[in-house]
């Protein structure tokens, strides 16, 4: 039995000469640690000391809200819960929502008090409601941090109040923010609200980038003497979302300015596109010892790629598969790799998988493939 091998080379464009993109160096950032990533691909565009554990101040409250969002999703708490305010919560210093000891506050109001007003009092009340105590809630925070791969993180409290060992990194904060945006979009939407009134007191969102840049829709500020002025921000432009983290700047103005620098650089010099859909055949490969002579190969997950802006036409896609693919196969089995190249560099790699089950053929057909492969190897 003679078969022909079908090699299907996918390419957006195949230039005669490899094109190496020229991108200016990232801006100088006045902070002790900073990071810029694409939210969809997690590609790092700019980083400096991104994995260094540092005191996060109120950036901690991103995890406080994340835990609350998770508990809401599990049905263990409700937005309508009336949360009692303890003496400990009422006495918290720093930024406040101004809740009063001995009263009860609707949980949804507490969430806004934390997200918009950065209330330390609200954070403690929420932690006590969910965990029973702030210490127990901190254990829950650390559990979620571990599940998210936040390896440079340890939480001692729900507020970011200075405490021995309480630390996280710019990279870990980007992981947390990305998870918040993708898993709990309704909760994340609150981060774009510019003010919140509780009782007779109306306070503005502390993230002033919401006023400076209409594409910014989050996330959180932080400040202590040890942490400096910090800001996690995210912006969405033309379908591309970036997350920036700036830690250890010298002022409120500086954390906004440096965050703007990072976001502007990322949007100006990079773009993100969805190039190939999951489950769509990209190649029909020759199959040996199977009931069918060919198997469809594609991607288990859609290919979303970040690359230098203006170089879409220079991307080259290659499908790399072994010379011999044998049955049986199950849908999802890895059989090769998709590689996207820009110049001499690869910008994306993903496994090619079988898109359907492929049963093994009977002995007569299998014997024919065996003979064919035997003589092919002799002639190679």
Spot the catalytic one: 33, 58, 174, 259. 58
Please give the chain's pLDDT, 380 residues, in tens. 333 333 333 444 444 455 677 889 999 999 999 999 999 999 999 999 999 999 999 999 999 999 999 999 999 999 999 999 999 999 999 999 999 999 999 999 999 999 999 999 999 999 999 999 999 999 999 999 999 999 999 999 999 999 999 999 999 999 999 999 999 999 999 999 999 999 999 999 999 999 999 999 999 999 999 999 999 999 999 999 999 999 999 999 999 999 999 999 999 999 999 999 999 999 998 887 778 888 999 999 999 999 999 999 999 999 999 988 888 989 999 999 999 999 988 999 999 999 999 887 766 666 555 555 555 666 56
Distances (CA, A) of 42 to 21, 48, 239: 20, 16, 15
Strand partners, 35: 47, 245
Domains in the chain (CATH in brackets) are 33-249 (3.40.710.10), 275-379 (2.60.410.10)
Nearest by Cα to 231 from 245, 217, 242:
245
Cα–Cα dist 84/270, whole Å: 48
Cα–Cα dist 184/187, whole Å: 5
Spot the catalytic one: 86, 95, 118, 234. 118
Strand partners, 317: 340
**Does 58 qualify as catalytic in the annotation?**
yes
pLDDT of 4 reads 34
Nearest by Cα to 267 from 288, 250, 248, 242:
242
Cα–Cα dist 71/302, whole Å: 30
**Does 261 qualify as catalytic in the annotation?**
no
**Does 346 qualify as catalytic in the annotation?**
no
Dig out the tokens for 159 from the structure: 């507020």
DSSP secondary-structure letter at 313?
G
Count of positions (residues) in the chain? 380
Is the link from the previous residue into 333 a cis peptide, with omega within 30 of 0?
no
pLDDT of 366 reads 63
How many helices and strands, by DSSP H and E, does the chain display? Answer: 10, 16
**Sheet-wide strand order for 33-38:** 44-48, 33-38, 240-249, 228-237, 216-224
Each residue's pLDDT tens digit, 332-349: 999 999 999 999 889 999
Spot the catalytic one: 33, 61, 234, 283. 61
Residues 221, 207 contacting (CB under 8 angstroms): yes
Dig out the tokens for 86 from the structure: 């303890």
Backbone angles phi, psi at 320, to 5 degrees: -105, 120
Backbone angles phi, psi at 348, to 5 degrees: -160, 140
Count of C-beta atoms within a 10 Å radius of residue 5: 10
Nearest by Cα to 336 from 351, 356, 318, 355:
351
Distances (CA, A) of 123 to 90, 133, 193, 198: 10, 11, 18, 15
């Amino acid at each position: 039995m003679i078969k022909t091998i079908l090699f299907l080379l996918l390419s957006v464009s195949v230039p005669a000469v490899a094109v190496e993109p020229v991108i200016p160096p990232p801006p100088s950032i006045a902070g002790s640690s900073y990071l810029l990533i694409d939210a969809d691909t997690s590609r790092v565009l700019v980083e400096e000391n991104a994995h260094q554990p540092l005191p996060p101040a109120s950036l901690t409250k991103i995890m406080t809200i994340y835990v609350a969002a998770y508990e809401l999703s599990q049905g263990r708490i409700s937005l309508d819960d009336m949360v009692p305010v303890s003496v400990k919560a009422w006495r918290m210093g720093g930024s406040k929502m101004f809740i009063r000891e001995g009263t009860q506050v609707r949980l949804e109001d507490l969430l806004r008090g934390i997200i918009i007003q950065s209330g330390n009092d609200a954070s403690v009340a929420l932690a006590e409601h969910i965990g029973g105590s702030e210490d127990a809630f901190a254990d829950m925070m650390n559990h979620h941090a571990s599940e998210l791969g936040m390896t440079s993180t340890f939480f001692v409290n729900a507020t970011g109040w200075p405490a021995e060992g309480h630390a996280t990194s710019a990279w870990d904060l980007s992981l947390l923010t990305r998870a918040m945006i993708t898993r709990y979009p309704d909760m994340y939407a609150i981060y774009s609200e510019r003010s919140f009134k509780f009782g007779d007191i109306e306070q503005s969102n502390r993230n002033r980038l919401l006023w400076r840049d209409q594409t910014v829709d989050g996330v959180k500020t932080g400040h202590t003497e040890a942490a400096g002025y910090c800001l996690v921000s995210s912006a969405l432009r033309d379908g591309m979302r970036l997350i920036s983290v700036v830690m250890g700047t010298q002022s409120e103005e500086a954390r906004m300015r440096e965050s703007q620098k990072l976001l502007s650089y990322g949007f100006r010099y990079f773009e993100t596109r969805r190039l190939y859909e999951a489950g769509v055949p990209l190649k029909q490969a020759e199959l040996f010892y199977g009931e069918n002579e060919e198997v469809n190969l594609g991607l288990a997950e859609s290919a979303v790629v970040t690359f230098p802006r203006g170089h879409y036409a220079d991307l080259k896609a290659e499908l790399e598969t072994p010379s011999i693919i044998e049955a049986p196969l199950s849908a999802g089995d890895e059989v090769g790799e998709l590689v996207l190249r820009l110049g001499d560099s690869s910008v994306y790699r993903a496994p090619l998988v079988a898109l359907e089950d492929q049963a093994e053929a009977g002995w007569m057909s299998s014997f024919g493939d065996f003979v064919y492969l035997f003589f092919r190897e002799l002639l190679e």
